[in-house]
Amino acid sequence: MNPDTTSSWRHWRLERHADGLAWLTIDRADAAVNALSAEVLSEFGAVLDELQARPPAGLIIRSGKAAGFIAGADVEEFADLTTPEQARQLVERGWNLFDRLAAVSYPTLALIHGHCLGGGLELALACRYRLAIDQPGTSLALPEVMLGIFPGWGGMRRLPALIGAPAALDMMLTGRPADARRAAALGLVDARVPPRLTDAAARQHVQSGRPARRARGIAGWLNRWPLKLLAARRAHRQIAAKDPQRHYPAAPAIVTLWARHGGNALRAPEIVHDILTSDTARNLLRVFRLQERLKAYGKPGNAPPAQHVHVVGAGTMGGDIAAWCAFKGLTVTLQDQDAERIAPALGRAAALYARKLKDPRAARAAFDRLVPDPQGNGVARADIVIEAISEQADAKRALYRALQPRMKPDALLATNTSSLSLADLRAGLDRPGQLIGIHFFNPVASMPLVEVVQAGADHGQAQARACAFVGQLGKLPLPVRDAPGFLVNAVLAPYMLEAMRCVDEGIEPAVIDRAMTDFGMPMGPLELADTVGLDIALAAGRQLAGQDEPPRCLAERIARNDLGRKTGRGFYAWHDGKPRKTATDSAPPGLARRLVQPLIDRTRQQVDSGVVADADLADAGVIFGTGFAPFTGGPLHLRAASHPPLTEPDPARP
């Protein structure tokens, strides 16, 4: 339907149709995605002025970007906040505009495709109705807590009123997204519609006269006193259990703002200032920028995206890499010596798809894309061949010599090695530059980082193409140079070895690990060693830290074949996949600093030796590859911010 009249601003376009409906399209100029900058919001105020002067029969807000609806506020505008007045103005800007949208006399609808995040979802919540286009990539979330801030433009008030306090607090405190199916189940959207019916469905819905959705039952009652106070106390207890050191103050602030201030941050200016100008918010903003830099390496290049992947080796890593590639839509052939060796990988893949894909048809389609291939017939058709066999250099080189003549000339040959030199593996190959390192971390499905390793000559921009492939899988590619342990394993080895030296000195393993989880690590170094396997930790220590004599505690456990989680006992006894920890002692002063210092020092060395291009990439790699406490901004950022305390003598270390 052609519009009768059109009004345009730099970032918005308003079309009025004969049926009285107005269609408002946000299409931020000179940007790939829509973000709500000060200029974009100012123009939105002008749009509301025009609509107020001549109200439509209904308003439908949509995006002109293929990527999605609105990605949120312009996070760069948070970086320069220093005063209480600046923080208040930023919150007030969006709060007042969205309050104004929510109060208009005519029905409003947000037509959502792709990402609808942060301020974008807060704008949608201010509409009477919301429709989600039911297609891959549709994602609704309030992820502000992951940036160390809060949803200040009405989300803390409107989301609990819409879907109930429990579900709303979960979304706000985790940043967890909802796809179109889950958003409809939660009541976050009024319906999910297929792409071909979006305009008709939006038109019908905005003209329906239906009342706006509200949370009902106990979920709705929890928004009222005194049940609201009980829900808030429960949420505060859960936050304290997960973050006892209060490294991330935004989460308790969200609960307080919802429970005591009706979700209106302007009623608590001291909270606004403390959160928006905190070191945690600045550091998490830094981490967000680092993540965006890694994502940029994964953008498609000149070569077409991969369609077919062939994986050789159906063990834990190879099988899980193959499963993830099929999950992300690629055709995958999985090779091993026989079908019996492939079967466990298929079982793990089926469990992954059932967990990740709630639609049985989608899970079945993903499983059908994963094809057992004991004979290796998929090699000739593959755009990328990934080797994931045992860490034996001679066996790998023999495999490459057999694979290369059968591969397409422009296909990539990749190894998932975590410890062997890429330069050594290339020796004797007819096309050595064709071999690239693509090092995934375990578990493949949940670890975001992938190291992309280059050594010597680059055949046909192999590293750039490999990075684009990693991005195609939804992972973060980190370009690194060939060196023992690359970046992540190289920095973890001295960290875990220092923890083992502490055990040799008589400090309890649980005390050591608690010191590092209190510091902000997702798990302690000894639990990590148990998870990786103590035999693997021994090999890594010898290779990466030059340890001829391993720590006594490690050697004794290996001699008893207590190798960690996989044998049921290591530094801990393991039951049902979890370690049993008991700690009777308190941590010696300076223990966390002592443990983290070798990791920081090795990270600095990897930058100085050119394994990674710069300190920012090193921080990104260590954060996303090890879970290094994000609130610090990364090990080298922490070192710079903490100097000299992190480098002065540690009284706990002899």
Query: Token digits for 126?
Result: 């201010």
Catalytically active residues, by annotation: 122, 144
Query: Token digits for 534?
Result: 């103590």
Neighbours of 644 (CB within 10 A): 6
d(CA 495, CA 598): 6
H or E element at residue 453: strand 449-454
d(CA 136, CA 133): 9
H or E element at residue 525: helix 525-532
SS3 117: strand
**477 within 8 A of 561, measured Cβ to Cβ:** no
Q: Convert 257-293 to b/e letters by CB count within 10 Å (16 or more is b).
A: bbbeeebbbeebeebbbbbbbbebbbbbbbbbebbee
SS3 131: strand
**144 within 8 A of 175, measured Cβ to Cβ:** yes
CA distances, 649 to each of 149, 497, 605, 642 (Å): 35, 19, 20, 14
Burial of 234 (0-12, 13-18, 19+ CB in 10 A): middle
Cβ neighbours for 89, distance < 8 A, ≥ 6 positions apart: none
DSSP string, 355-387: HH--SHHHHHHHHHTEEE-TT-GGGGG-SEEEE
d(CA 54, CA 259): 38
